[in-house]
Structure 1
Amino acid sequence: MWVSQGVDAALAGVLGLLIGSFLNVVIYRLPKMLERQWAADCAGIDGTEVPGAEPFNLMVPHSRCPQCGHAIRWHENIPVLSYAFLRGRCSACKTPISLRYPAVELATGLLFAWCVWRMPGQWGALAWCGFSAALLALALIDWDTTLLPDDITLPLLWAGLFAAILGWTGVTLTAAVLGAAAGYLSLWGIYWLFKLTTGKEGMGYGDFKLVAALGAWFGWQALVPIILMASVIGVIVGLALKFNNGLREGGYVPFGPFLAGAGFTAMFFGADAILRVVGL
């Protein structure tokens, strides 16, 4: 049994490496696709020419070196191995390749292997693999751009409800629905309280949807631990960035990565463990 489970986890890890390679594309291109779509919508409204007419999506154009335009060949795109073989540099111009690319691939592989090893049921494990991939992509997109795209948050929310219906997450449908509703309304209420008090927007609507998705996956009972831990992590990271002059313009730190971190913690250890960590 242990051997079979280990083989399944190893195969899931390989699949995760491949999915991680695709996540790198999603993380980089999806925000740019949204920006192009917004520009096209605005151009359509004022009657000007629509910019960026050339095809640009998750499949087209093929991956290229951003420095010299060298087309990435198949053997240069093998997860983790190609980075090591190329010694972290473009084969054409020798420009350094960001360490994030193999890190995302390796992280996704490890997450997939863990889900298959620890989560009960084949379909349940696959569901949590999808949850992990989506949450990782959202965390990095938000960190880079302060965006949490509906293209990922909303499918993640509906997938959580669907998984609850099928019994893949161990959360009842009632708890999942209440978690989604309470998750959205909780941050929505905080947003408006902060805005009415200060006149500023403390977070974006994408954060509401992400918390709603986490509520759908973990149930309403997990919302307080998740939001609490995300807030604690956010304060610590924010203070560290402030003391190291690492804050972006306006002093804004996106909340999505911290919500994602709390979501992963809940997946690994359970929501109750979060309360024990913070001493409650």
Structure 2
Amino acid sequence: MALDAWWGPVLGGVLGLLFGSFLNVVIYRLPKMMERQWAAERAALAWDTPNHGEAPPAAAQEVFNLMTPRSRCPSCGHAVRWYENVPILSYLFLRGRCSACKTRISIRYPLVEAVTGAVFFFCLQRWGISAAGMAWCGFCAALIALTCIDWDTTLLPDDITLPLLWAGLLASAMQWIAVPLYASVVGAAAGYLSLWLVYWGFKCATGKEGMGYGDFKLFAALGAWFGWQALVPIILLSSVIGAVIGIVLKLLSALREGGYIPFGPFLAGAGFTALVFGPQAILDAVLQFVGL
């Protein structure tokens, strides 16, 4: 590649680092925002008042969203200064510790930034600065956020999965991605219904819930982005990897209470693999792995 052709991917990588910093905020705050909303809804439902059904007074709470308040140390409340929030470099400069209380900062913060920068670089290197390149960057960012949130909380927020689904259909309709609209729509429907049927089959057979509704929506979104033909390779790869990691965690006695692991990260990992290598390569690799 000529030197002047590298500036686009490099610029994308830098923007990815910055966007990765924002994804760290989303990963940390979005589940807490959801919990606050649920708590407010429960309080409203439980409100018992003689005031003829008047709504309960709103609880006085600090404004908490993706923009407010400023980022701060969860241990001591130290407000993060701008120069302490430079992707990767600030973590290295601070030696992975809060500048005020010296509490260790999770290595995941710079890792999320680095991975986001890498996938943005990859997308713009493959598709250039184009609608397709921007679309796939957004796709990757959503999967990174969903992976971390689901691993931490076993939640796949509708605020991310549903826009990801509609974005895939829109990208197909606008011909930003090489998936015909028919294949995208059928992929979304089949992705949702297939896991929905598995969920209810498992629940009827065992009385337990084997997965959450967020998994249906994420698989539907992957069907929208890759088409219905990619669903079998994606679910096979995610299932095989999930089973292997589950066995390893069980052997290490590292499973969570209840003995479960979230499925969303493995679906997202299969989505990344499909993006890089293509669904057919996934299918061939899985069949070779299981000896077929």
**Counterpart in the other structure of 2:110:** 102
Q: Distance in 1 between matches of 2:183 and 2:102?
A: 53
**Counterpart in the other structure of 1:8:** 8
Q: Distance in 2 between matches of 1:227 and 1:193?
A: 17
Please tell me the residue identity of whatever aligns with 1:46: A
Please tell me the residue identity of whatever aligns with 1:123: A
Contact 2:8 2:129 in 1 (8 A): no
Contact 2:172 2:179 in 1 (8 A): yes
CA offsets 1:145-192 (integer angstroms, 9 cap, x no match)? 000000000000000000001111100000000000000000000000
Q: Displacement, 1:68?
A: 1.1
Please tell me the residue identity of whatever aligns with 2:36: R
Q: Distance in 2 between matches of 1:233 and 1:258?
A: 7
Please tell me the residue identity of whatever aligns with 2:247: L
Q: Displacement, 1:51?
A: 5.1
| Aligned partner of 1:160 among 146, 156, 168 | 168
**Counterpart in the other structure of 1:139:** 147
**Counterpart in the other structure of 2:34:** 34
| Aligned partner of 2:94 among 86, 101, 109 | 86
Alignment of 1:48-197 (within 5 A): 53-119=61-127, 122-197=130-205
**Unpaired segments ≥5 residues, structure 1:** none
TM-score by length of 1: 0.97
Q: Percent of counterpart pairs with the same letter? A: 67
Q: Displacement, 1:102?
A: 0.3
Please tell me the residue identity of whatever aligns with 2:110: P
Higher mean C-alpha displacement, 50-59 vs 112-121: 50-59
Please tell me the residue identity of whatever aligns with 1:10: V
Asked whether 1:239 is paired with 2:247, we answer yes
Q: Distance in 1 between matches of 2:58 and 2:175?
A: 46
Contact 1:36 1:52 in 2 (8 A): no
Q: Displacement, 1:45?
A: 1.1
Q: Distance in 2 between matches of 1:52 and 1:138?
A: 30
Q: Distance in 1 between matches of 2:140 and 2:79?
A: 30
Asked whether 1:201 is paired with 2:209, we answer yes
**Unpaired segments ≥5 residues, structure 2:** 48-55
Q: Displacement, 1:120?
A: 5.7
**Counterpart in the other structure of 2:21:** 21
Q: Displacement, 1:121?
A: 6.2
User: Larger radius of gyration, structure 1 or 2?
Assistant: 2
Count of paired positions: 280
CA-atom RMSD in angstroms:
1.2
Q: Displacement, 1:3?
A: 2.4
Please tell me the residue identity of whatever aligns with 1:182: A
Q: Displacement, 1:52?
A: 6.4
Q: Residue 250 of structure 1: SS of its match in structure 2?
A: coil
TM-score by length of 2: 0.94
Q: Residue 70 of structure 2: SS of its match in structure 1?
A: coil
Please tell me the residue identity of whatever aligns with 1:11: L
Contact 2:8 2:128 in 1 (8 A): no
Q: Distance in 1 between matches of 2:244 and 2:58?
A: 43
